[in-house]
Every structure is written in C-alpha cells, then in structure tokens.
C-alpha cells in the first residue's frame, strides 16, 4: 500500500460533466487497485473548501472542459500548494482555447490546417461571415466552438447555404469560433506521457459511424473504432509521433496529454489540437493505447501520479 492520499476531482459544471464523472470513477478504481488511498470530490463552486479540508497529498484531475481543463482549478491548487496531475495553468488555458492553440502551433512551425478566427461581430450577419470563411478555406468547412471539448460545438459544413445557421448555432457556446480547413485523410491521436523526457503510446486510428468522431461516437459503445496500430506507414507513424512531442513541448504540457492529428489526402500529418485531460472512461483512447502496449490501467494512472509528484 502506497502512503500517498489521492483526491480524484471529477464532475464539475461544464458541458462534459457526465464524461468527467465516468472518467473520475474509473480513475479512482484504478488508483485503489494500484495501492493508493483514494477519495473523490464532485467539484462545485460551493465546495472548493473541501479540497483543503481533505488535505490530499495530490489531486488527480479528472475534470473535462471549462472549470477543470482550462487552468482555473490548477490555479486554485497552486495557491493551496497542492500537487496535481497534468499540465499547469498556462498550458491548460492555452490548450483549451482552440484558436490560441492553432496560433501557437503555426508560430512554432508545427503543421496545422489553415484556419480563421470568427468573432462576435459575425453575429450581425453569420451567413456573410461564413461565406468569407468558405472563400478562404473552401468546402467542406469545419466550424468549432473555441473552448469546448469532446467535439461538443463542432460542425462540418458541406453546403454554402447551411453555413450561416451552423455558425449562428455555435455562438451559444461563446463569442469566438474557429473556422478550419477540412482534411480528408485518416484521423489519428497520439497519447504522450512525461515531463522532460517524453514517450508516446501507440498511435491510434479513429473511425466513426457518424459523420465524424463526435460526442455520440466517442461515448456510445459500438459507434466508433480505435484501430491499434493505426493503418499507416512507418514513416507517417514516426512523423505523427514527432509532431505530437513537438506540440506537447510547444504548449508546455506536463504529465500526460493526447495530441489529435489529421492526415491530408497525401497522408501528411497536421496537428489539430491537444487534450490536456484526456478521457479516462472505458471507451477512452488513452487507456486503450496503454493496454495495447502492455500497460494496465492501474499502472497507467500510477505513472501519471508519479509524473505529478516529480514536477
């Protein structure tokens, strides 16, 4: 039995609350199997004080989306001087903001699909704003709410006449929308572990029954497939792993994160985004990749804890 007392923080108030509850429950069970003392806390605005009352040696953050993956809880824990898993305040805030992530990737010389930022001024005439994006980036066009996860607030526009209503609907998530070039190749994800020395877990190819790997596909059994190893050449695999590590370092990630990559028609990889608190449910990608290379789930969460204690 390890002596560390781990508090798994889960739930929260974001649009990804249900996924977070499932991730946190799975993590807590795995930590217990790994020999840790474990408590859980469904974090709400009125119970932050309970973290200080519990006085854990470390907080395992299983919160997804706003209020958990955006640097806010990380800031509270820094102020309390309590170690926590995953990336720090700055990396968390940058990576949840899809537009900032894209700008950082571009400025770091890391290939990412062409993009435009659409601001709140587009609310006055969303059809006109969407048509400008189509002129610049073509059809199909990917539109994403800036700070959502689990593909919530993501739409693929295939007809110009549908673009205005699609864009208008996304303003319900916030005032910043990412318009992104559509790539027609395979969808990959690369799990990365480590602080200074990084390792990648097996590259996963994702297929979905729906139009793309949306929320329903992610969390409904049978709606998607995680193909391990991905059906790509060795050279493409190596390049995807290299780019994943570069993106992880460029954004200042720590502990663990998952880097999502799309291939174009010529199988050139482009980094899409970085998930600093990847899902840890039974259907999630990160645990699947770990199992594929012989790392059981309890060993995976213990590794993540060790990285957090190390930093």
**Active-site annotation holder among 150, 151, 217, 224:** 150
Active site residue 150: yes
Question: Encoding tokens for residue 46?
Answer: 């009125």
Active site residue 260: yes
**Active-site annotation holder among 17, 22, 254, 258:** 258
**Active-site annotation holder among 86, 279, 284, 288:** 279
* Nearest CA-CA partner of 108 in 250, 309, 227: 250
Active site residue 288: no
DSSP assignment of 30-96: HHHHTT-EEEEEE--TT-THHHHHH--SEEEE---STTTSSSHHHHHHHHHT--BSS--HHHHHHHH
Active site residue 107: no
What is the C-alpha to C-alpha distance for residues 309 and 266, in angstroms, rounded to an integer?
42
- Report residue 288: phi and psi, to 5°: -60, -45
**Active-site annotation holder among 87, 273, 284, 288:** 273
**Active-site annotation holder among 11, 16, 84, 288:** 16
**Active-site annotation holder among 239, 246, 260, 288:** 260
Active site residue 273: yes
**Active-site annotation holder among 219, 239, 246, 267:** 219
What is the C-alpha to C-alpha distance for residues 264 and 168, in angstroms, rounded to an integer?
28
What is the C-alpha to C-alpha distance for residues 305 and 34, in angstroms, rounded to an integer?
11
Q: Which residues are catalytic?
A: 16, 150, 219, 258, 260, 273, 275, 279
């Amino acid at each position: 039995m390890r002596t560390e007392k781990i508090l798994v923080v889960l739930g929260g108030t974001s649009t990804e609350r249900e996924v977070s509850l499932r991730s946190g429950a799975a993590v807590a069970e795995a930590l217990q199997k790994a020999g840790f003392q474990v408590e859980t806390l469904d974090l709400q605005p009125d119970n932050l004080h309970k973290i200080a009352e519990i006085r854990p040696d470390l907080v395992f953050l299983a919160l997804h989306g706003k209020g958990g993956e955006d640097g806010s809880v990380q800031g509270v824990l820094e102020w309390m001087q309590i170690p926590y898993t995953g990336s720090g305040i700055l990396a968390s805030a940058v990576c949840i903001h899809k537009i900032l992530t894209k700008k950082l990737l571009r400025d770091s010389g890391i290939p990412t699909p062409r993009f435009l930022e659409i601001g709140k001024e587009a609310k006055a005439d969303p059809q006109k704003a969407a048509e400008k994006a189509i002129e610049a980036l073509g059809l199909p066009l990917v539109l994403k709410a800036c700070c959502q996860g689990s593909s919530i607030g993501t739409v693929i526009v295939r007809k110009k006449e549908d673009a205005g209503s699609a864009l208008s609907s996304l303003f319900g998530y916030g005032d910043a929308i990412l318009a992104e070039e559509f790539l027609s190749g395979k969808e990959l994800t690369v799990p990365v572990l480590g602080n200074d020395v990084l390792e990648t877990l097996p590259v996963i190819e994702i297929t979905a029954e729906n139009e793309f790997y949306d929320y329903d596909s992610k969390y409904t059994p049978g709606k998607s497939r995680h193909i391990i190893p991905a059906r790509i050449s060795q050279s493409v695999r190596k390049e995807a792993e290299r780019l994943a590590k570069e993106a992880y370092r460029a954004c200042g990630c720590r502990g663990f994160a998952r880097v999502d990559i799309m291939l174009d028609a010529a199988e050139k990889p482009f980094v899409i985004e970085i998930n600093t608190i990847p899902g840890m449910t039974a259907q999630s990608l990160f645990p699947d990749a770990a199992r594929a290379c012989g790392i059981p789930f309890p060993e995976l969460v213990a590794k993540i804890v060790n990285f957090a204690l190390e930093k």
